[in-house]
Amino acid sequence: MTKTNWRPAALSLTVLGAVARLLPHPPNFAPVGATSLFAGARLPRWQAYLIPLALMAITDPILASFYGVAAFTKYQIFIYASFLISVWLGRRLRNTESISRIAAVTVVNSIQFFLITNFGSWLWFQAYPRTAAGLASCYVAAIPFFGWTLASDVLYTAVLFGLYAWLSRTVATSERLTAVA
């Protein structure tokens, strides 16, 4: 079975992961970082970058109307940029199924999301002074959210990569058995 035959499964898992962000969840416990990482690892380049951003652009207005906030702001540039970096990190996992390598990249992914989005929060919102101390305060205040981000990235990455590996092995075994019979 070639990787090309698995594109529909990878695409389906990516879409499922992104749509799952519409389900109720704790703050920052969403599948988007893991979905972007997975898309980078298992989808063709153009789909890997386009699909997560398109799904964000579709689901952001839905969530914004639910929470009564603006659908799109300049702050989201930082969020979307972070997810593009997630895809780029996922591209580093293209030819691996190594659990330790996937886990390491998942942690790096969570860290870069924390650093980039909280920098954007400090820059965009007026909650902290525009000083080094203000930036440090912003990062310190966001530490509890980092725990949720890391937990969700680890969980959803394990689910996406695990399901993909299980499906590819199960179907490939089934196809070999059918070919032999």
Q: Looking at per-residue confidence, does 34 or 174 come out higher?
A: 34
Q: Looking at per-residue confidence, does 124 or 173 come out higher?
A: 124
pTM assigned to the model? 0.85
Which pLDDT does position 2 carry in this prediction? 47
Q: What is the CATH number of the domain that holds 58?
A: 1.10.1760
Which pLDDT does position 22 carry in this prediction? 79
Which pLDDT does position 177 carry in this prediction? 53
Tell me the DSSP string of 26-88.
Answer: -TT--SHHHHHHHHHHHS-HHHHHHHHHHHHHHHHHHHHHHHTS-S--TTHHHHHHHHHHHHH
Which pLDDT does position 6 carry in this prediction? 59
Q: How many domains does the chain have?
A: 1
Domain range holding 28? 3-180
Structure confidence at residue 137 as a pLDDT band (50, 70, 90): very high
Mean pLDDT of 133-138: 97
